[in-house]
Amino acid sequence: MNYKENYNLWKNYKDLDQSLKQELDTLDEKQIEEAFYQDLTFGTGGLRGIMGVGTNRVNIYTIRKATLGFARYLLKHNLTDGIAISYDNRKDSKRFAEEAAKVLAANHIKSYLFNALRPTPMLSFAVRYFKASGGIMITASHNPKQYNGYKAYDQTGAQVNPKTADLIIEEINSIKNPFEIKTADNDLIQKVDETFDDIYLNAIKDIKINDEVKKVKIVYSPLHGTGGPIIPQFLMDQGYEVHPYTPQMIVDPNFSNTKSSNPEDHEAYENTIAFAKDIDADIVMVTDPDADRLGIAVKHDGTYELITGNQTASVELYYLLSQRMKYNLLPPNGHVYTTNVTTKLIEVIARSFELDVITTLTGFKFIGEKAEMYQDTNPYIFGCEESYGSLISDVVRDKDAVQAVYMLAEIANHLKLQGKTIMDYLNEIYETYGAYYEYTHAISLKGIEGSKKIQEIMSFFRENPPKLEDKHLLGYDDVLKSIRVEDGIKSHLDLPKSNVLKYIFEDDTWIVFRPSGTEPKIKIYYGTKQKTLEEAKAYLQTIDKQIMKIIDEI
């Protein structure tokens, strides 16, 4: 159906949810087209979009439709061992989770429904713990408050891969009328209470390496989200001095006490850093609303330095490998997992410990898929991506900020006992391996016109590889076409097809162009290795200006 037909179907439905009906009556023609011109689709994080009325919005009807499609996929493939369901702090997240459970119940599928908001990694863990056939997480992760979403998980605890997502989408697209979807509230909906917290937390305690006297002082914020009920008390129980930032501990869909719900944004730290200064804390830890991403700020030379996701992952990996080797706990044939937009420093560190490195596309579902593939032959060691996500123990098959907080608390404490900070440690890593630095420039391009602009940018660079004055282009990956070109010679690229371009230059310099799978953005990733961190930062700023000038002229 075109957007007008979709609109009329919704307009004429007499039992439409009252709040959605009121919104529908206020839409102008442009807003109607935006709300109905397409159905929401699965991206790297599942289904995600602005909440509101319409087929292109997140509401009870699109949630029911997605769940019915998921249910039909499960039944068709005889995956009938139940679905774990959790949710975050966003508006209507709990209601959406309950609606999903009711759709499953109407299709005779059991669900394990958390009775209070809980982190995404706990949902992934629950899928494996209950030996369920999959999972659903109602969240928009780090997106602004207007967004909500739906992450679908398979029986391994990882987000569904593209092949499975396509099969689910086929089922979803076969549902023509979202208002005819049946729901049921019965005994197939089993509640998961707070006693499950200890089961999860006991499983991740095993990542601890050094159990030392606790001296580090920690400020923590969940940014109004799911980390609040779990993380501070867990750290305190392990003996850490934790100071939760109370205004952001409140479960709040409006994110009233923070300028950003994204730990990648500097403004997300303004209040917690001010609080840290007041109490002279050593480290600030901030998790996103569904507690799969962690950002930190470290007190160093009297100021609080923000650490990027690439830097945090590098610190975690080096500490894990060096300390496990020290105690003879490092298996010789283990795997480290990274993505094609993550710092090359991860690969360099891992190979220095003679470990194999598996590189995937962006999205932890790809890391989870590979970890499952190799679980019987190659022990899982560590996985990460540049966007502030990492995973230490694969009892979870998604990025896990609870684990990251726990490990970074240990690292910060271990270093403080030596009179060092994480910044000192990071500088030691750079001295050993070189000054690797990365930068991401995200360009927001909303709506239909924005989508067209993103495609124009990708088409331009696909036909016109970027040129750097002082760096020779060694090769490039066109992931959509599954080709790698090195020195003019084409070969097959063994990655799932995706609209991603990566250009590789001399001196470990690279550029990646990638439309976001979950937001109306195109992201340009840059990486380089220079003699010093300052030189690396300055060089990437120069490259970015060149690329932005080209984009402005497209």
Active site residues: 141
> Is-contact 435 536, C-beta < 8 A?
yes
Q: Which residues contact 274 (CB under 8 A, 6 or more apart)?
A: none
Measured CA to CA, the distance from residue 306 to residue 308 in angstroms comes to 7
Q: How far is CA 297 from CA 285, 288, 384, 448, 543, in A?
A: 7, 14, 19, 37, 27
Give the residue among 409, 345, 435 at the shortest CA–CA distance from 382: 345
Give the residue among 53, 48, 30 at the shortest CA–CA distance from 88: 48
> Is-contact 136 94, C-beta < 8 A?
no
> Is-contact 298 427, C-beta < 8 A?
no
Burial (Cβ within 10 Å: 0-12, 13-18, ≥19) of residue 29:
exposed
Measured CA to CA, the distance from residue 458 to residue 442 in angstroms comes to 14
Measured CA to CA, the distance from residue 101 to residue 106 in angstroms comes to 9
Q: Which residues contact 122 (CB under 8 A, 6 or more apart)?
A: 86, 114, 196, 197, 200, 230, 402
Look up tokens 């932890």; give the residue.
Answer: 364
Strands 521-530, 489-492: pairing kind: unpaired
> Is-contact 137 70, C-beta < 8 A?
no
Give the residue among 505, 10, 345, 409 at the shortest CA–CA distance from 217: 409
Look up tokens 């949710």; give the residue.
Answer: 87
Q: How far is CA 298 from CA 240, 277, 408, in A?
A: 16, 11, 11
| Rounded (5°) CA angle 116-154-60 | 50
Full DSSP string of 540-552: HHHHHHHHHHHHH
- Helix 196-204 and helix 120-129, axial crossing angle in degrees, nearest 10: 90
SS3 127: helix
Q: Which residues contact 347 (CB under 8 A, 6 or more apart)?
A: 336, 338, 357, 359
